[in-house]
Chains A and B, each alone.
Chain A
């Protein structure tokens, strides 16, 4: 089973290796003749203004929050789904209660307007 992960590790190393080699070789071989116009930030040809890291709206956080809750739900429902074939109705009802409780959470977020993009 660790051998399966070894393939992912090999792919990870190759995928880190290739772009870094490309960047390093380009940095070594490329000619460097900087001037202020060349170094300025390029943004559709228009002159840039302000900071690049502006303040975000709270809606981003609320969306990520709802996503997080249903992401964690997956931890529990995935093993349950794997064992689905050997389950009785009672077990399925328990999982439905689990989902209903979380649907109530979604309903609350919806009612409070957390999912509205203002």
Chain B
């Protein structure tokens, strides 16, 4: 049997890789990919806790389904924003999108 700690440490590693991607990437779509990795790490954590500690309850499964919906909504709106910004400014580099900078 796989110990619960393996899943948690794997999810922590995946989350940190995603965090690095979000903070370090210059391309806005690369930042979105980092966010997707982080959300996946969260889902692994949720399902691991459900499977090892609360397998008789449904809260964990509903939570995972809601995270899927949130991830889909975030990807849809975020990528639409990137496409819109690209159309106006002809760039997807996050540092060059400085319209809000005073």
A–B contact with Cβ pairs below 8 Å: the answer is yes
Residues of A within 8 A of B (CB): 58, 61, 65, 68-69, 71-72, 75-76
Known: A58-B83, A61-B83. A68 touches B75 (CB 8 A): yes
Residues of B contacting A72 in the complex (Cβ-Cβ under 8 angstroms): 68-69, 72
Check if B9 is an interface residue, CB within 8 A of chain A. no
Contact B76 A75 (CB under 8 A): no
Contact B83 A68 (CB under 8 A): no
In the complex, number of A-B residue pairs with CB atoms less than 8 Å apart:
19
| Partner pick for A69 among B65, B68, B72, B83, CB 8 A cutoff | B72
Q: How far is the CB of B21 from chain A (nearest CB, A)?
A: 21
Contact A76 B83 (CB under 8 A): no
Contact A75 B69 (CB under 8 A): yes
Q: How far, in whole Å, are A104 and B39 apart by their CA atoms in the complex?
A: 28
| Partner pick for B80 among A65, A71, A75, CB 8 A cutoff | A65
Q: How far is the CB of B51 from chain A (nearest CB, A)?
A: 12
**Of residues 44 to 94 in B, which have CB atoms within 8 Å of A's CB atoms?**
65, 68-69, 72, 75-76, 79-80, 83
Q: How far, in whole Å, are A71 and B73 apart by their CA atoms in the complex?
A: 12
Contact A61 B79 (CB under 8 A): yes
Residues of A contacting B80 in the complex (Cβ-Cβ under 8 angstroms): 61, 65
Contact A68 B72 (CB under 8 A): yes
19 CB contacts below 8 A, A to B, read A58-B83, A61-B79, A61-B80, A61-B83, A65-B76, A65-B80, A68-B72, A68-B75, A68-B76, A69-B72, A69-B76, A71-B72, A72-B68, A72-B69, A72-B72, A75-B65, A75-B68, A75-B69, A76-B65
